[in-house]
Chain A
Amino acid sequence: MEDISLVTVVLMLPLAGLVLMMLFSRTEQAYKWAALVTSLVTFGASLLLVRNFDTSAAGLQMVHRVDWITADSFTIRYYVGVDGISLWLVLLTTFIMPLAILASFNPIKDRVRLYYIFMLLMEWAMLGVFVAQDLFLFYIFWEVTLVPMYFLIGIWGAEERIYAAIKFFLYTMAGSLLMLLAILWLGNEAGTFSVPDILAKLESGELAFSTATGRWLFLAFAIAFAIKVPMWPLHSWLPDAHVQAPTAGSVILAGVLLKMGTYGFVRFNLPLFPEASKTFAPYMAVLAVIGIIYGAWVSYGQKDVKKLVAYSSISHLGFVMLGIFALNPAGIQGGILQMVNHGISTGGLFLLVGVLYERRHTKLMSAFGGIWRAMPLYSGIALVIVLSSMGLPGLNGFVGEFTILLGSAGSSVLSWWFTFFGAIGIILAAIYLLYMFNTVFMGALDKEENKHLPDLNWQELWSLVPILVMVFVIGLQAGYFFEYMDGSVKELVDYVNGYVLSAAGH
């Protein structure tokens, strides 16, 4: 047996913390702190991943691979590892979780123990999605993320929580079931469920399928991922789930869960089905651009702050999809960075909404106005995060969106119209976000109940400060983050393009 890799350690830490918490914690305080410490330790361990990461290598690193089920005709493995594509998403997960847990300290008052059990389970499952390299393992984590989120929305959500929880579960499960069949088909043909092995067999020609089959398989995977992203028109579960979920639930949903979809496209669809990726790229990009414009348009019409932020996610994730299906290094790298950026900015926005909701128990924009005067610290932080979400140069959002547009403009599969409409999306984002900021924070403090709102308490402050820091760090030092992706993304793009070229040569 191989040595236990650092990736396994990071993956299993939340589970270990969960077990310790259930064994030794007795009071509500103890549960809270046990969960927070666990997530912080996990974050610390994941920083070691960055330190040990070899930026010159393109393939998987810190791999851990053990046979799990062996049969005559196939093998299923516990197979984990990180590469330039998944590294920052693992970090995003471990970064967001302590903040989400800290932000839950005050709002979550009943069934505390159960709540933190589900939070840690959630972290474990999401990390698993990003590190799993075996399709069986991946599918397990992919589906398991539904369970804790179902409970988080259903138990601690707002009024319509049951409807939202069940819709979330069924909608996302519907997508993954066809993926399950595609996975089984691939596994049957290849005799293994490990993605690197399947790719090797594809490359050597040992495994081959027809163009039509490749396209069907692409679609089966794509539906699962497109629902998770969510891409227009498969987005209707998202506003319900986001709005009804408790603050931490929304943060996790927007911050990490949606990235599982975009990540899936990069990790599975592009390398496994290069021909289909190329064929479908313009169609995917059309949906992405519709999502960008539609999400922004609908955001502008919202009266509820949380809904506005929820719809803005559709718009932002549209950018990520546009970048990925530009099928060039700039587009994909921008897409990956934008996944991280969106996690940080939108996670931050949901935390901000949660702060207001805690104080006033309403999320209607019309209930606020002039908050800056009552809560200056809070409003200052809010301004930075709103600007970051808008894509102001110098902050993180700009780097991602700019790189994506650069990628789509230089793409050989997409026309310049996509870049044009994408740029319009950025302008629309500025409109709805500034309109929201104006309504809530600016103007006269004319509502009596808003005049004496307390500013941030320490939990709220410390859940927002790390986000603030990252907004500037990524905004000013994006090169550092790109450097880690270079090798893997370049290899992926070369592979996708090379495959199509060699197929055309035959």
Chain B
Amino acid sequence: MSGVPSLSDLNLAATLPVSFLALYACLLMIVDLFVPRTRKHITAGLTMLGLGIALVLALLPLAGAARFGDGERAFGGMYIADSFSDGVNVIVLITALLGVMVAYNYLDRIQRQRGEYYSLLLFTTLGVMMMGAAGDLVVVFVALELLSIPLYILSGFRRPQEASEESALKYFILGAFASGFLVYGIALIYGATGVTDFEGIWAAVEEIVAEDASSKYLLLVGAGLLLVGLGFKVAAVPFHMWTPDVYQGAPTSVVAYMSVAAKVGGFAALVRVLGSGMVNFALDGGLVAAWQDTVWLIAALTMILGNFVAIVQSDLKRLLAYSSIAHAGYMLIGVAAAGSAPVADEAARAVIMYLMAYAFTNVGAFAVVIAVERDDASNTGLESMRGLAVKQPLLAASMAIFMFSLTGIPLTAGFIGKWFVFKAAIAADLIPVAVVGVLTSLISAFYYLRIVWYMYFESGESEAHVPVPLAWAISIAAVGTLLLGIFPYLLSDMTHKITLAFGP
């Protein structure tokens, strides 16, 4: 590895979706300078085009049509192109496409139609894709910053509205803090193992466990700090405090996108680092990783707090914020299950399936909020849903589908996600946390159903405007939610090749 690597060593072909999008995003930033203020639909269209091409590139290996690398490494092991990163790519690119569709009219309405919005969105997307493909802790850190910094800016995009500025500042300060934890964790792990790439860490952990070396404590602290840093990104309790405020203050179109994208990135990294690099970190020499207990405890707390606090929310955006905290808990069950070596692959697949289901459902739900929100950011209370089924039957039906999906009712994607996550948990012998999972699902049914009953059982003067791109986004999200629910093999086929294990 010494000396200057030649271009062929980089194995650029394996990174095609990411490198294409990186180039495209930079170009778009320049092209946008020449697009006049009044014609920003060109920028939006170009963004969609770029995302669309990247999505096709990401889908090709999944469909088996082309292979840019089967578990192949690029950039000297920094980048791993495998089924897991393909899955992450597809999820985040679909989310980004929907994110552009929900944003276009919204930006017009709030008079913030600026080209930067789209470039920043592309960079965030890139960050998430790199998180999914990271083969090294350094890449995790760089990708995390690439994912976060544009989101800080986007949260404050509604300048000079105070709520939006506050949201951005809060997110930035707390996010920077979390990054600090992450770097510290990386440093300690490096101290314990002497390497930063996952395969090297995996080999070093084998050794540490075999020799029962005292550096295992260093490793444990490192893993804990890493969990703090990434736990912040995915809004896990107790690192969730920023979520409701940021979600409520930030422009709704940003929230629709980031509530999914940041989670995809965070969970991709968690699964990669813990489920792949440290899956063998069993202190007692068994098959269960040392970090599993911590993760499932956090999962249980996250589900309990998120769901209980969501009950008392009267604002849709805050309610969905707490709901997104709760869903981080369900996905953490999957991460915890990945701590049992025999179940690791199944658990990683479950997390990807859950994320895919969550992407359609959550973007859709926020898109409906965008439809009822007024130009001055008001009318996002639960009241705004009253009688929607009579005024806007299709919009209400879509929202009902999203709510049932978030609850986990069968025939929706949300059920399939929960089914596989709970299945992995039971396979990993984590029955108590699965019980907490189903019981909190019941709690969640109450507040999701309340939205349905406001729409269908009560009458009111609800108003909503659904311009074309937004209507398309909501329809795609609703159809996607149902499609994945009715044909679950779409999901299981997409993920069935995921294997994380290093070594034998």
Q: Which chain B residues border A161 with CB–CB below 8 Å?
A: 457
Q: Which chain A residues border B446 with CB–CB below 8 Å?
A: 166, 170
Q: Is the CB of A143 within 8 A of B449?
A: no
**Per-position binary interface string of chain A over residues 425-447, scored 1 when its CB falls under 8 Å from any chain B CB and 0 otherwise:** 00000000000000000000000
**Per-position binary interface string of chain A over residues 178-193, scored 1 when its CB falls under 8 Å from any chain B CB and 0 otherwise:** 1011001101100000
Q: Is the CB of A150 within 8 A of B449?
A: yes
Q: Is the CB of B426 within 8 A of A188?
A: yes
Q: Is the CB of A170 within 8 A of B445?
A: yes
A166 in contact with B453 given A71-B492, A139-B410 (CB within 8 Å): yes
Does A140 interact with chain B (Cβ within 8 Å)? Answer: yes
Q: Which chain B residues border A268 with CB–CB below 8 Å?
A: none
Q: Which chain B residues border A73 with CB–CB below 8 Å?
A: 346
In the complex the two chains form, what is the Cα distance from A166 to B442 in whole Å? 12
Q: Is the CB of B438 within 8 A of A188?
A: no
A184 in contact with B423 given A147-B404, A155-B456 (CB within 8 Å): yes
Q: Which chain A residues border B441 with CB–CB below 8 Å?
A: 177
Q: How far is the CB of A255 from chain B (nearest CB, A)?
A: 23
Size category, A interface: 35 or more
- Which of B422, B453, B456 meets A184, CB within 8 Å? B422
In the complex the two chains form, what is the Cα distance from A72 to B498 in whole Å? 12
A143 in contact with B438 given A68-B488, A71-B496, A154-B453 (CB within 8 Å): no
In the complex the two chains form, what is the Cα distance from A455 to B184 in whole Å? 83
Q: Which chain B residues border A178 with CB–CB below 8 Å?
A: 435, 438
A177 in contact with B438 given A165-B457, A184-B419 (CB within 8 Å): yes
Give the total of B residues in contact with A, Cβ under 8 Å: 32
Q: Is the CB of A184 within 8 A of B426?
A: yes
In the complex the two chains form, what is the Cα distance from A187 to B423 in whole Å? 9
Q: Which chain B residues border A69 with CB–CB below 8 Å?
A: 488-489, 492
Does B311 interact with chain A (Cβ within 8 Å)? Answer: no
Does A174 interact with chain B (Cβ within 8 Å)? Answer: yes
Does A169 interact with chain B (Cβ within 8 Å)? Answer: yes
Q: Is the CB of B457 within 8 A of A154?
A: yes
In the complex the two chains form, what is the Cα distance from A162 to B457 in whole Å? 7
A140 in contact with B457 given A150-B449, A173-B442, A185-B426 (CB within 8 Å): no
**Per-position binary interface string of chain A over residues 134-155, scored 1 when its CB falls under 8 Å from any chain B CB and 0 otherwise:** 0010011101101100110011
**Per-position binary interface string of chain A over residues 68-79, scored 1 when its CB falls under 8 Å from any chain B CB and 0 otherwise:** 111111001000
Q: How far is the CB of B409 from chain A (nearest CB, A)?
A: 6
Does B427 interact with chain A (Cβ within 8 Å)? Answer: yes
Q: B interface, by DSSP: helix, strand, loop or mixed?
A: helix
Q: Is the CB of B453 within 8 A of A165?
A: yes
Does B153 interact with chain A (Cβ within 8 Å)? Answer: no
Does B10 interact with chain A (Cβ within 8 Å)? Answer: no
**Per-position binary interface string of chain B over residues 389-423, scored 1 when its CB falls under 8 Å from any chain A CB and 0 otherwise:** 01000000000000010000111000100010011
Q: Is the CB of B423 within 8 A of A146?
A: no
Name the CB-closest residue of B to A216: B431
Q: Which chain B residues border A72 with CB–CB below 8 Å?
A: 496
A144 in contact with B438 given A155-B457, A173-B445 (CB within 8 Å): no
Q: Is the CB of A146 within 8 A of B409?
A: yes
Does B439 interact with chain A (Cβ within 8 Å)? Answer: yes
Q: Is the CB of A169 within 8 A of B445?
A: yes
Interface core residue of A111, A154, A184 (most chain B CB under 10 Å): A184
In the complex the two chains form, what is the Cα distance from A144 to B439 in whole Å? 18
In the complex the two chains form, what is the Cα distance from A25 to B290 in whole Å? 61
**Per-position binary interface string of chain B over residues 124-146, scored 1 when its CB falls under 8 Å from any chain A CB and 0 otherwise:** 00000000000000000000000
Give the contacts of B427-459 with A (CB-CB under 8 A): 427, 431, 434-435, 438-439, 441-442, 445-446, 449-450, 452-453, 456-458
Given contacts A111-B390, A162-B453, A180-B438, 17 further A-B contacts (CB under 8 A): A69-B489, A70-B489, A70-B492, A72-B496, A76-B488, A143-B415, A161-B457, A173-B445, A174-B442, A177-B439, A177-B441, A178-B435, A181-B426, A184-B426, A185-B431, A188-B423, A188-B427
Residues in chain B within 8 A of chain A (CB atoms): 346, 390, 404, 409-411, 415, 419, 422-423, 426-427, 431, 434-435, 438-439, 441-442, 445-446, 449-450, 452-453, 456-458, 488-489, 492, 496
30 contacts between A and B (CB under 8 A): A69-B488, A69-B492, A71-B496, A76-B488, A111-B390, A136-B419, A139-B410, A140-B411, A140-B415, A141-B410, A143-B410, A144-B409, A144-B411, A151-B456, A154-B456, A154-B457, A165-B457, A166-B446, A169-B449, A170-B445, A170-B449, A173-B445, A174-B442, A177-B441, A180-B419, A184-B419, A184-B422, A185-B426, A185-B431, A188-B426
Residues in chain A within 8 A of chain B (CB atoms): 68-73, 76, 111, 136, 139-141, 143-144, 146-147, 150-151, 154-155, 161-162, 165-166, 169-170, 173-174, 177-178, 180-181, 184-185, 187-188
